[in-house]
Amino acid sequence: MTAAERREQLIAIARTIFADHGVDATTVEEIAAKASVSKPVVYEHFGGKEGLYAVVVDREVQTLLGMMRDALTPGPPRLVLQQAAIALLSYIEQHSEGFRILVRDSPVGTPMGSYVSIISDIAHRVEDILGAEFKARGYDAKLAPMYAQMLVGMVGTTGQWWLNTRKPAKDVVAAHLVNLAWNGLSDLERKPQLIPEADEGA
């Protein structure tokens, strides 16, 4: 096994262990044993558990943010909210171990990367879209950042719940999220459905 292959092996093994036990309960000994290597090999590649954990978290952050960036395209606010909800739920569906790592622990020695900071980053991206919509409708655009935090926070919290339940289906959860955010409790649709991506009349 080359050094690069060994590094990837250690990252994959550590990712699973961190997801199962959390960073505090994980030891270098456990990671090394699963990889059938000695502890010094882990230290050689990452300097220790914290360095390995930082690499794992950084990869998950980049994956989630990449999925969000790809999903959030200019369009009507309801469609943007729908895109954000589906992107986050898709990440949870496809990268469950990574999501468990992000929501369980705060990264060691890094200012960015925690789930809260990721949600804040996504909310910041939604601010401009909401701000433009607020202006067009005669609302105070200065309130857009607050609404962005509320909307994205609602999606993020629901994602944490859905991680373990996985019911109802992803599209159903996304439709109900958008329904609540868009219509409010006073005007909920009885059977909400996602709008087609091409529908600009949202």
pLDDT tens by residue, 148-197: 888 888 888 899 899 989 999 999 999 999 999 888 867 867 788 898 87
The rounded percent of the chain whose pLDDT value lies above 90 is: 42
CATH 1.10.357.10 applies to domain 57-187? yes
For residue 168, whether the previous peptide bond is cis, meaning omega lies within 30 degrees of 0, is: yes
Phi-psi region at 33: left, alpha or beta (left = phi > 0; alpha = psi -120 to 50): alpha
Q: Which two tokens stand for residue 3?
A: 């050094």
All structural domains of the chain with their residue ranges? 57-187
Mean predicted confidence (pLDDT) in 27-42: 97
